[in-house]
Amino acid sequence: MGLGRKDGGGAISHAASFLLGVSLPTALLFLLASDRLGDGLSTISRSWGSTGTTQLPTADGAAPAREQEVEFAGLAELLPKVAMEDRTVIITPVNEAWARPGSLLDLYLESFKNGEDIAHLVNHVLVVALDTLGFDRCKAVHPHCYHLQVPTTTTANMSSAKGFMSRDYLELVWTKLTFQQRVIELGYNFLFTDADMIWFRNPFRHIALYADMSCSSDDFKPSRAPLDQPLNTGLYYMKSTNRTIEMVRYWRAARERFRGRHDQWVFVAIKRELVTKLQVKIEPLETVYFGGFCEYHDDFDKVCTMHADCCIGLENKVHDLSDIAADWKNYTSMPPEERKKKGDFKWTYPTRCRKSSKWRKP
């Protein structure tokens, strides 16, 4: 959840970008639709049972804020069909509104076909549907879909719009993290991306595989220390290791310390604890390769992904991302010598998104 923003030149306040560049993209994804943790990690989380279910962990021996059980029927059988040879899967979540024809899922999947040598990667995308209609639509356009069931003890309706930071919204984002925990406990690495994103090139070429987690940033400055970058969990890669399994358990357990906060806010709050206590290596990703409407660069020869962050409203996301997709098609249709002309290619300014989020240069 990010902090500062700029578009080749400026930056807005940390607080505004935090809410808009990080929180709102994740919030809209699902809109479609104490300090002491105890004596050891073993007291923080409960182990997975053979039935493939898990319960939310507790902290400091406190009763969980809500009793909840999440089931992942069929996931262990599905993952081998989606994973790459190194057991990596690409995960993106949708619901009916994001999956309907002409919406974000179509833009997301289409971008693999139009990108440079990445068409094969779409075969490793697992679309996680948050409702039945989203699942049905996914199956019509993509071979690898998974219906994530809402815990029966909650009243959250995955299909309806959720107010940002509402009780149902929080249940949805934390359920997403529970799903990711299950993936790495089954022994699979994953690259998670929000679905309000399009792909241009292979992002794995710019992900530091020595790190336990590589995470996008809203406003990247090389002069900053890694943990000082405003991290945005709209895109992150995580290995399946003992450290990352404990990391996600710790992350989920920290929810009890920061009640009423969403997953990204909590991650930013505890990222230094993850490094010092668990020895986790977290690597920020540069916006020149992993851009977003909060901060992007006009380096068409480097960009790998573009995220519709700093944007409020599904229609605004679809409109401005469609412009970006058209820009990319125009660029790739040019002869190689034309592409080499520096300064001739610029992304269409995401007017609707930046207006919706009141993004502005200082």
Mean pLDDT value of segment 246-262? 92
pLDDT at 35 (0 to 100): 24
- Which run of H or E residues covers position 80? helix 75-82
pLDDT band at 166; cut points 50, 70, 90: low
Over 80: is that where the pLDDT of 69 sits? Answer: no
Residue pair 6/297 in contact by the 8 Å Cβ criterion: no
Higher-pLDDT residue of 122, 63:
122
Of 17-21, 210-214, 300-304, 340-344, which range is least confident? 17-21
Over 90: is that where the pLDDT of 340 sits? Answer: no
pLDDT at 150 (0 to 100): 63
% of residues, the chain, pLDDT over 90: 62
% of residues, the chain, pLDDT over 70: 74
What CA–CA distance (Å, rounded) separates 123 from 339? Answer: 29
pLDDT at 181 (0 to 100): 94
What CA–CA distance (Å, rounded) separates 289 from 201? Answer: 9
Over 60: is that where the pLDDT of 136 sits? Answer: yes
Of 24-33, 155-164, 211-220, which range is least confident? 24-33
pLDDT band at 175; cut points 50, 70, 90: confident
Instruction: Kindly state the tokens that stand for 14.
Output: 């940390």
Whole-number Cα distances in Å, 88 to 83, 85, 126, 187, 321: 5, 7, 11, 9, 26
Instruction: Kindly state the tokens that stand for 262.
Output: 């969403």
pLDDT band at 160; cut points 50, 70, 90: very low
Residue pair 39/118 in contact by the 8 Å Cβ criterion: no
Higher-pLDDT residue of 54, 247:
247
At 221-240, the pLDDT tens digits run: 999 999 999 999 999 999 99
Of 303, 297, 127, 279, residue with least CA distance to 206:
303
pLDDT band at 95; cut points 50, 70, 90: confident
pLDDT at 355 (0 to 100): 94
Mean pLDDT value of segment 199-215? 94
Q: How many CB atoms lie within 10 A of CB 299?
A: 13
Tell me the average pLDDT of the chain.
80
At 7-65, the pLDDT tens digits run: 444 433 444 443 444 443 334 333 433 222 222 222 222 222 223 333 333 333 333 33
Mean pLDDT value of segment 126-150? 94
Helix axes 104-114, 132-141, angle to 10 degrees: 20
Query: Who contacts 7 (Cβ-Cβ below 8 Å, separation ≥6)?
Result: 295, 296, 361
What's the predicted TM-score (pTM) here?
Answer: 0.79
Over 60: is that where the pLDDT of 5 sits? Answer: no
Of 56-65, 72-81, 159-168, which range is least confident? 56-65
